[in-house]
Amino acid sequence: MLLFQTITITATITFTYAHRCYDGQYQRDNKPILTIECGGRHCTKIQPHPFDQDFYGCDLTELCRKKDDGCSEDSLGTTCCCQGELCNISTQPSCLIVLPILALYKVFM
């Protein structure tokens, strides 16, 4: 039983910190298809104005660390940050971050 709990906790931590994000540059109406493994916690989606392109990827610049999940807009465009597996497909924050918490609750309760 202890071995199962250890494996579950390790898998949960791995899931939380090693996840995939959509990656690449796409026309605004096209959904991304490429993914990339990210070591960080956040995925990004950037929509620069006035271009008709969306840029997807990992947060390599730590831009998202200083702000909550969600989107912010300025004169240059819209930047969205999220945490979770393939969460950067939309402008809504992902609720997948709840899954590891539920798994830990199930293991210890």
CATH of the domain at 45: 2.10.60.10
> What pLDDT, on a 0 to 100 scale, did the predictor assign at position 96?
42
Domain hosting residue 80, numbered range: 2-108
> What pLDDT, on a 0 to 100 scale, did the predictor assign at position 46?
94
Three-state DSSP at 19 gives strand
> What pLDDT, on a 0 to 100 scale, did the predictor assign at position 41?
85
Structure tokens at 84: 């979770």
Domain count within the chain: 1
> What pLDDT, on a 0 to 100 scale, did the predictor assign at position 59?
92
- Write out residues in the chain with pLDDT < 50, as ranges: 4, 6-16, 92-100, 102
> What pLDDT, on a 0 to 100 scale, did the predictor assign at position 2?
54
> What pLDDT, on a 0 to 100 scale, did the predictor assign at position 107?
62
